[in-house]
Amino acid sequence: MKMRKKADLPTKLCARCGLPFSWRKKWARDWDNVRYCSERCRRGGTG
């Protein structure tokens, strides 16, 4: 697998806090369904 620069990775906006976040390897299979930047936002905490 070819190395990519962090700036070249896809990004999304968090549905809870509105901040942008980048693709992570752990989300590789499920990127289309990822909506939150962190577990804290997913649980509905402040952020």
pLDDT of residue 47: 47
Tell me how crowded residue 37 is: count the other CB atoms within 10 A of its CB: 21
Both tokens assigned to 9: 């990775």
pTM reported for the whole predicted model? 0.73
* Residues 1-47: tens digit of each pLDDT: 677 787 888 999 999 999 999 999 999 999 999 999 999 999 986 54
How many CA atoms lie less than 13 Å away from 15 in the CB half-sphere?
8
Check: CB of residue 17 under 8 Å from CB of residue 3: no
Determine the distance from the C-alpha atom of residue 44 to the mean position of all C-alpha atoms in its chain, rounded to a whole number: 16
Structural domain spans, the chain:
11-43
pLDDT of residue 18: 96
